Amino acid sequence: MNQHMLEAARINDGDGLMFASSACIYRQQHDNLNRFSEDQAIPANPHSTYGWAKIVGEVAADAYHTDTDIDTGAVRIFNCYGPRESLDPDSSHVIPSLCRKAIESEDGDSIELFGDGTQERGFIFVTDLVEGMVRAIEKKADGEPINLGKGDEVVSINELAKKIIDISGKDLEIEHDLSKPTGTDKYAIDDKKMKDELGWEPSVSLEQGLRKVYQWAEAELEDSKQEAVVDGGNE
């Protein structure tokens, strides 16, 4: 897919292409919070085939920048979130998943987290991500990848769950399922290059972003409930 997009841009004399890479290209190196800088991607040793696919995409984007007239760039995205994500309880990301759990719980209930909740992340709201990508294609279309994320509000998953519970206004406990996978333990963006070369940083606070996602999820689940009632009445 990445190769087709780059080749289509070349054939059709496109002005440029921004490749959406991922923080998954990095590999955790120690037990403390990892703040990954761009140079830590080499030597490449990601955890997953997804990470390898992103590395190959970055290499291809850089090659097209070198060998053709196309301006290319690559942003390594760290934990984007926002409305319109999947709310499927079996596959959703952590923020929409926790919002759904809180919305569907009653006072006195508990919500479950995978692992012990000490995993740490920095989350970037989707509107900030889009703004950062536009800024990157304007200022950093030199084939060289750059991190894109929010580094000043790193939280543990336990802290994240407490924030969402506070937004819900409910009295909910947190339980942990230590048998479930937790993903990479602790990682966040080293945003120095992003700030220096783009002259930009995200502006939406985690509190603001979580409230937007919670309100969207609440309305979405209520609409689904109403649709189910209507469909049931038509059977």
Look at residues 209, 87, 74, 216 and name the one whose alpha carbon lies nearest to residue 150.
209
DSSP 180: S
Q: Where does residue 4 rank: exposed (0-12), middle (13-18), buried (19+ CB within 10 A)?
A: exposed
H-run or E-run covering 205: none
Active site members = 50
CB contact set of 129 (below 8 Å; sequence gap of 6+): 77, 80, 82, 148
Maximum C-alpha span of the chain: 62
Return the residue matching tokens 């319109």. Answer: 84
Is the Cβ–Cβ distance between 167 and 210 less than 8 Å? yes
**Alpha-carbon span 108 to 233, nearest angstrom:** 32
Return the residue matching tokens 């409930």. Answer: 225
Long-range contacts of residues 215-220, Cβ cutoff 8 Å, at least 24 apart: 216/83, 216/84, 217/83, 217/87, 217/96, 217/99, 217/100, 217/103, 218/99, 218/103, 220/87
**Alpha-carbon span 189 to 192, nearest angstrom:** 9
